[in-house]
Each structure stands twice: as C-alpha cells, then as structure tokens.
C-alpha cells in the first residue's frame, strides 16, 4: 500500500501548501547584564557593526541575537523591546523582513552554482517555517553547514535596502560551521568579504561555542560578547513556563540538574521523552482499531515532514524492535505497549521494515497525516 502511495505522489494534495500555526519565540532567559550592556550601546549609537556571541551550547546565544534584533526593530526607546509594536511582533514570530537568520543546512545537491543558491534559499526558508511553528528547536544535524551557497544567499539579502525603520540584522548561528572542512574555506571567504565592508544600515551577529574554531580573519573583525551558563533558578523558571504538560517537582529538579545551566540541554531531554511517548501513542492507536488509528493520524502536525516526524518514526521502529526482544523472552529496556508483546517476532520485524519505508517517504514531499494513516493500516494488518 505504501509503495502505491509513493507512486501516486503527484496527486494535488501533496503539492498543497501546508497550513501551520505561527508561535512567538520562547522568552529569552537570563543574561540580564549583557542585555543591558547591548541595549545601552544600541540606544547610545555605539553598537558595533559585527558582534560575536560565544558561550556553552544551549545557553541562548542565538536567542539573545534574536532579542537584540527585536530591540533594533522595536518602535520603543526602552532597554527592553516593548513586545507589542509591529516590529516586535514580526521579530518575535520570525517574520521581520529585515531580520535574517542563517542556520546550518545540508549541502545543496544541485551541480550548478546558481541552482545551489536557490536550493540553499529554499532549505533556509523551510527551516524557518519549522521554527515559526516550533520555536524550541533541537540542534541541527552534524553534517549541516554554512556552505558557499548559504553565504551567497546572505550576500544577496545584504545588498537589499532595509524595508523597515531599523538596520538589517544578520544572525549567523553556529558560525564554526562556516568552515566545515579545511579544504573548503569559500563560504568563510564570501562572508569575510561582507564583514570587511559591511553595508551601512546592517548589523552582523555571529554565534559560536568555540571562538577558536572561527577563522581568525573573521574573528578579528567581530567584537566578542561572552555568555555564561544560566543559573538553576533561570532554567527552572523557563521549564516551568514553557514545558507542556508541566513537570512535577521531582522531574523538574532532575531536569534542572541535568541541564547544567543550558536550556538547550534541558529541552533536548524533554524532547527525547516526548518523541518516545508519541511513538507509543501511535502504536497503541494501531492496536486499538481503525477509529483511533485515523484519529491519531489526523493529529499529526502537517508542517513537519522533516526532522521531527522522522524522529517519531525512528522511535516507532525502536519500540517495535524492543517489543520483538520482549516477544522473544528477553528483557525490554524501554516501555512497550503491552499489546505488542503478544505479537510474533517475525511480524514485528516486518512492521519495522514498513516503518523504515515510511521514513524514506517522509523525506519526500508526502503529507505526514496521510503517510501515518497508510502506515497505520499496514501495521494493523501485520500486528
């Protein structure tokens, strides 16, 4: 059934633009002194044109950069963005035309340089679409980088006149990835050209965990701003406000301890649990009959055909593998729906194959709701 679905992939439903909800960025936690210093510099006309935010992973370097971008676009005059004006609202929903956020992306596949730039622009737009819908994001794939095509996208945006009142803001997250290999420094060079003579009315903010891994020529042009780890109280407050469903006190303590001052780490832990839970819910629905199966498929968010949906499918395959261990009389290492333990190991392995086919399909332009509905029927026939 899945193969047939893939062959019929031209059906208009797959081409329709997904509808998605746009959420505000989560609040910036901590870094109060740095905020005040940056805001005073900006209000006093002393903000350097190129900044480099460094500090441990997950402490909010890119979030602080987005905060500064919001302040720059805010119509107010205070040391914190007002949060209400048009500029603030656009910045908070990642829709401000003068705020450009460059994140590492997979290397474009096209051979032609012009097409590579188009492909990079599309990948960047797709990442932003995901972040608008789910602002608490996981770190990018280890292979993702800022290639020369991304640097060209940035150059193109930098050549445009600002649309709004403030300067254009360019955020380059994980700037270490500007030189993914020693042998391909082109992207760093393209950015370097931009930083050597930054267009008037533009501010560049680079972020990196390790400044030593950034080309010295780029580093020497940026004013460093060092961010420390957050306090436990700040991480706790963030988790209390942002994590749904809320954690009980014991779970909250454990999470804060594990996070060690990094909201990124705290959220990554949160996501692991959620992905496994989503996988179990899908399998429970498969075992409960056609009604619950379709209901679960319809609940699948339509916008996230990439990373997150694939992660859930991986967790479904892992859970099936674990059930196969259980069915063969071995000890299971993670919770498995009880109904699966009575299945034949052979059927469970076949089910894992179906899931990996679905995972392949998830990389194509297939609607996740439909994919999950079809997968659910296939699994139900096997289990």
Residues forming the site for Zn ion (CB under 5 A): 74, 76, 81-82, 85, 88
- Least spacing, CB of residue 20 vs Zn ion, in Å: 24
Query: Distance between CA 21 and CA 348 in Å, rounded?
Result: 36
Nearer to Zn ion, 84 or 240 (CB): 84
User: Tokens for 68?
Assistant: 């500064």
Per DSSP, the residues of 243-309 read -SSPPPHHHHHHHHHHHTT-HHHHHHHHHHHHHHHHHHHHHHHHHT-HHHHHHHHHHS-TT--SHHH
- Least spacing, CB of residue 302 vs Zn ion, in Å: 32
Query: Distance between CA 153 and CA 120 in Å, rounded?
Result: 7
Nearer to Zn ion, 27 or 76 (CB): 76
Q: Tokens 């390790």 belong to which residue? A: 210
Q: How far is CA 382 from the centre of its chain?
A: 34
Nearer to Zn ion, 91 or 315 (CB): 91
Query: Distance between CA 223 and CA 221 in Å, rounded?
Result: 7
Nearer to Zn ion, 71 or 230 (CB): 71
Nearer to Zn ion, 89 or 219 (CB): 89
Nearer to Zn ion, 91 or 117 (CB): 91
Nearer to Zn ion, 81 or 173 (CB): 81
Query: Distance between CA 175 and CA 102 in Å, rounded?
Result: 9
Are 53 and 64 contacting, i.e. CB atoms less than 8 angstroms apart? yes
Query: Distance between CA 251 and CA 214 in Å, rounded?
Result: 38
Nearer to Zn ion, 81 or 376 (CB): 81
- Least spacing, CB of residue 75 vs Zn ion, in Å: 5
Of 291, 317, 302, 318, the closest CA to residue 371 belongs to: 302
- Least spacing, CB of residue 73 vs Zn ion, in Å: 7
Of 186, 185, 187, 105, the closest CA to residue 142 belongs to: 105
Question: In which region does residue 58 sit, left (phi positive, over 0), alpha (psi from -120 to 50) or beta (all else)?
Answer: left
- Least spacing, CB of residue 180 vs Zn ion, in Å: 37
DSSP, collapsed to helix, strand or coil, labels residue 372 as helix
Q: How far is CA 368 from the centre of its chain?
A: 18
Nearer to Zn ion, 85 or 136 (CB): 85
User: Tokens for 366?
Assistant: 């297939």
DSSP, collapsed to helix, strand or coil, labels residue 334 as coil
Are 357 and 367 contacting, i.e. CB atoms less than 8 angstroms apart? no
């Amino acid at each position: 059934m899945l193969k047939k679905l893939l062959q019929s992939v031209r059906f208009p439903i797959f081409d329709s633009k997904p509808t998605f909800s746009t959420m505000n960025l989560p609040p910036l936690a901590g870094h109060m002194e740095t905020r005040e210093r940056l805001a005073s510099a900006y209000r006093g006309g002393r903000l350097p044109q190129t900044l480099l935010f460094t500090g441990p992973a997950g402490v909010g370097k890119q979030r602080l950069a987005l905060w500064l971008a919001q302040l720059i676009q805010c119509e107010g005059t205070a040391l914190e963005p007002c949060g209400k004006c048009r500029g603030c609202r656009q910045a908070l929903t990642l829709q401000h035309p003068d705020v450009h956020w460059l994140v590492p992306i997979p290397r474009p596949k096209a051979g032609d340089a012009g097409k590579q730039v188009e492909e990079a622009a599309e990948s960047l737009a797709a990442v932003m679409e995901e972040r608008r819908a789910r602002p608490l994001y996981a770190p990018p794939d280890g292979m993702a980088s800022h290639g020369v095509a991304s640097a060209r996208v940035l150059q193109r945006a930098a050549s445009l006149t600002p649309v709004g009142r403030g300067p254009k803001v360019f955020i380059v997250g994980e700037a270490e990835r500007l030189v993914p290999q020693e042998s391909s420094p082109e992207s760093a060079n393209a950015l370097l050209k931009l930083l050597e003579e930054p267009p008037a009315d533009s501010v560049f903010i680079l972020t990196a965990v390790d400044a030593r891994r950034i080309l010295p020529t780029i580093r020497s042009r940026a004013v460093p701003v060092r961010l420390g780890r957050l306090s436990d109280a700040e991480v706790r407050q963030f988790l209390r406000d942002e994590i749904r469903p809320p954690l009980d006190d014991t779970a909250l303590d454990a999470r804060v301890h594990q996070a060690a001052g990094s909201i990124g780490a705290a959220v990554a832990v949160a996501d692991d649990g959620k992905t496994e839970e989503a996988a179990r819910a899908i399998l429970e629905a498969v075992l409960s009959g056609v009604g619950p199966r379709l209901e679960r498929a319809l609940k699948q968010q339509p916008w996230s055909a990439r990373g997150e949906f694939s992660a859930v499918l991986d967790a479904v395959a892992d859970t099936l593998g674990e059930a196969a261990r259980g069915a063969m009389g071995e000890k299971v290492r993670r919770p498995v729906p009880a109904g699966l333990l009575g299945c034949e190991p052979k059927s469970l392995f076949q089910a894992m194959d179906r899931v990996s086919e679905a995972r392949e399909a998830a990389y194509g332009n297939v609607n996740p709701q439909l994919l999950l509905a079809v997968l659910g029927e296939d699994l139900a026939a096997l289990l």
